[in-house]
């Protein structure tokens, strides 16, 4: 059976099993904290775990709650007309019972004794029946993700070095680099503008009931986007190699190292090129082995996500999610196919069929970087692109070219601006968001939920409160899956266009629309 069909079948099976677990097994919500009776009523937090109330804030790295905080009430549907409900918490037992009745995945607001109100997304109780059954799938999914993470740095490093060094000189490097970055800038700009138009047409933030304090302080911290470019140059390259979140630094070093290999004497140039070519060959063999596990890893990932996801959190953010989703669909199904057809002269349907394994893997893992081995395999074996082009364009795209993230950043920031400011968010500020969204998409690591971290930076630069992005984080997973698929689709389209411009013939001998099977790929090892 072909790889893309295997992935699709196992993904469907994962959805069915996940929904069955969710419906048939007991899995109440958990606060992620232990509490005791307060000295003057209410409850006091005595211990925090690493989820729920104890989950670190993406902006500060610290949990929004602390041991010793006194909770006087639980607030559900805060700010929603006719739905808001306040439940006093007279003692610890009552608090635990109230939490158990709330749907998992819901955003809950806690009123503290000092008058402040803070929110947390409630996960499944780790001691519940549902958690017990999901745990094996979660463990296997984590093993699968760790395997893919293990490949990222060595694959990107060896791929870019061999790709750049193999170009043989500055003229070829400049030509290929110019085409690649020209495509990245074009599609990222089109993506951000698509998000801008949709968010102004639909206006999801106008009248939204998010429960956020509209009088919250603005501009409590500033961050410079010049830091993105400063972070490109590693102070310690070996430290960058140890962190998948520092891909820009790894890419910068690999580009420089590969380029200056071409400037060395013939003996050293051949020795280094042979060494890194051999290393890249070994990494591709490892990647081929990982490909054989993709359908089963996808199955476990989907079971885990579906079983642990409640639907209550999605209701107040429905129009926001719809706007992002429409932006991703328009960019993926209209904009990129038009670029592919009219700029590259390539059939979008034929190319999309060839890229299906990579797209399905991206949807499941929510990581451009972790999908990279599958993307390279699909582009070369199913699309017919040479390793010379794919080894240069794809590793760059996995970090630099984030069209889906650009749409997400643009819609998310303007959505929150509409919520806080109504129609008063000026066009010049919205254009600023477009530019910042493009820069943020470049600076975002190719790992799950990286886009939400960059959104904090944009909000800070625009002097908007940061707590809105924390609320958006509650619905980030399904959007992350969709925007990662858009990112990978754009990367592959760019690779095809660059390859075609270099005179290569796609879908040549040895490739097909259906592509090689997993067994064929494994046999090649």
- CATH number at 410 reads 1.10.3860.10
Domain co-membership, 102 together with 176: no
CB 292 within 8 A of CB 518: yes
CB 381 within 8 A of CB 374: no
Domain co-membership, 483 together with 360: yes
Domain co-membership, 109 together with 203: no
Domain co-membership, 219 together with 189: yes
Of the residues 121, 156, 187, the one at which a domain ends: 121
Of the residues 121, 148, 180, the one at which a domain ends: 121
Examine residue 28 and state whether it is found in any structural domain, yes or no.
no
How far apart, in whole angstroms, are the C-alpha atoms of residue 502 and residue 515?
A: 23
Degrees, nearest 5: CA angle 134-130-318? 90
Q: What is the pLDDT of residue 328?
A: 95
Q: Is 235 exposed, middle or buried (0-12, 13-18, 19+ CB in 10 A)?
A: exposed
**Ordered alpha helix ranges (H), 355-475:** 356-365, 368-377, 387-400, 403-421, 427-443, 450-461, 467-472
Examine residue 2 and state whether it is found in any structural domain, yes or no.
no
How far apart, in whole angstroms, are the C-alpha atoms of residue 506 and residue 512?
A: 10
Examine residue 25 and state whether it is found in any structural domain, yes or no.
no
Domain co-membership, 116 together with 141: no
Task: State the DSSP H helix or E strand holding residue 45, giving kind and residue range, or none if neither.
Answer: strand 43-48
Domain co-membership, 91 together with 141: no
Q: What is the pLDDT of residue 3?
A: 67
Examine residue 126 and state whether it is found in any structural domain, yes or no.
no
In which domain, by residue range, is 424 found? 136-515
Domain co-membership, 110 together with 149: no
Tokens matching residue 12: 């469907």
Examine residue 176 and state whether it is found in any structural domain, yes or no.
yes
Place of tokens 């992620």: 32
Of the residues 91, 121, 151, the one at which a domain ends: 121
Q: What is the pLDDT of residue 164?
A: 77
Whole-model pTM?
0.72
How far apart, in whole angstroms, are the C-alpha atoms of residue 176 and residue 502?
A: 8
Domain co-membership, 69 together with 184: no
Distance of CA 378 to the CA centre of its chain: 20
Q: What is the pLDDT of residue 508?
A: 60
Segments of the chain with pLDDT less than 70 = 1, 3-4, 57-61, 167-170, 209-229, 231, 244-247, 310-315, 439-454, 456-457, 460-462, 466-467, 469-470, 474, 508-525
Domain co-membership, 258 together with 343: yes
Q: How many Cβ atoms are within 10 Å of 51's Cβ, its own excluded?
A: 18
Domain co-membership, 111 together with 158: no
Examine residue 81 and state whether it is found in any structural domain, yes or no.
yes
Q: What is the pLDDT of residue 103?
A: 78
Q: Alpha-carbon torsion 69, 126, 453, 198, what sign? A: negative
Total domains in the chain come to 2
Examine residue 511 and state whether it is found in any structural domain, yes or no.
yes
Examine residue 24 and state whether it is found in any structural domain, yes or no.
no
Q: Is 468 exposed, middle or buried (0-12, 13-18, 19+ CB in 10 A)?
A: buried
Q: Is 433 exposed, middle or buried (0-12, 13-18, 19+ CB in 10 A)?
A: buried
Domain co-membership, 213 together with 294: yes
Domain co-membership, 290 together with 216: yes
3-state secondary structure (DSSP) of residue 519: helix
CB 110 within 8 A of CB 118: yes
Taking only the tens place, the pLDDT of each residue in 187-206 is: 988 998 999 999 999 988 88
């Amino acid at each position: 059976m072909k790889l893309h069909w295997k992935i699709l079948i196992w993904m469907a099976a994962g959805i069915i099993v996940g929904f069955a677990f969710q419906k048939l097994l007991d899995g109440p919500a958990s606060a992620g904290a232990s509490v005791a009776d307060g000295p003057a009523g209410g409850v006091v937090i005595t211990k925090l775990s690493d989820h729920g109330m104890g989950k670190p804030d993406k902006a500060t790295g610290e949990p929004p709650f602390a041991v010793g905080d006194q909770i006087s009430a639980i607030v559900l549907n805060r700010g929603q007309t006719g739905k808001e409900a306040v439940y006093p918490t007279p003692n610890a037992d009552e608090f635990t019972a109230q939490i158990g009745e709330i749907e998992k995945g819901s955003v809950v607001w806690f009123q503290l004794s000092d008058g402040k109100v803070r929110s947390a997304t409630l996960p499944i109780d780790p001691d519940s029946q549902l958690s017990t059954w999901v745990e094996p799938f979660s463990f296997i999914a984590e093993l699968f993700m760790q395997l893919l993470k293990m490949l990222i740095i060595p694959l990107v490093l060896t791929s870019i070095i061999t790709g750049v060094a193999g170009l043989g000189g500055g003229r070829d490097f400049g030509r290929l680099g110019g085409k690649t970055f020209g495509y990245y800038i074009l599609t990222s700009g089109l993506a951000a503008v698509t998000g801008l138009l949709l968010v102004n047409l639909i206006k999801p933030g106008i009248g939204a009931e998010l429960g956020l304090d509209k009088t919250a302080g603005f501009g409590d911290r500033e961050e410079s986007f010049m830091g993105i470019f400063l972070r490109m140059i590693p102070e310690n390259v070996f430290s960058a190699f140890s962190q998948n979140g520092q891909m820009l630094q790894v890419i910068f070093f690999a580009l420089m190292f590969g380029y200056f290999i071409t400037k060395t004497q013939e003996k050293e140039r051949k020795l280094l090129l042979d060494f890194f070519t051999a290393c890249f060959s070994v990494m591709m063999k490892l990647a081929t082995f990982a490909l054989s596990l993709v359908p089963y890893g996808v199955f476990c990932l989907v079971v885990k996500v579906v079983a642990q996801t409640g639907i209550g959190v999605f209701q107040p953010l429905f129009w926001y999610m719809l706007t992002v989703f429409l932006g991703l669909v328009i960019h993926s199904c209209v904009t990129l196919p038009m670029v592919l057809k009219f700029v590259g002269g390539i059939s979008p349907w034929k190319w999309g069929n060839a890229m299906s394994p990579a797209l399905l893997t991206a949807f499941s893992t929510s990581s451009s970087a972790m999908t990279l081995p599958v993307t390279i395999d699909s582009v070369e074996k199913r699309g017919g692109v040479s390793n010379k082009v794919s080894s240069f364009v794809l590793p760059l795209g996995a970090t630099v070219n984030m069209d889906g993230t650009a749409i997400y950043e643009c819609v998310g920031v303007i959505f929150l601006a509409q919520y806080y400011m109504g129609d008063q968010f000026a066009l010049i500020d919205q254009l600023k968001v477009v530019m910042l969204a493009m820069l943020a998409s470049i600076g975002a690591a190719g790992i799950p939920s990286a886009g939400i971290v960059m959104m904090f930076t944009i909000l800070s630069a625009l002097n908007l409160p940061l707590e809105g992005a924390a609320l958006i984080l509650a619905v980030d997973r399904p959007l992350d899956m969709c925007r990662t698929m858009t990112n990978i689709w754009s990367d592959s389209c760019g690779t095809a266009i660059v390859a075609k411009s270099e005179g290569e013939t796609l879908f040549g001998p040895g490739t097909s629309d259906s592509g090689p099977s997993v067994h064929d790929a494994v046999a090649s090892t």
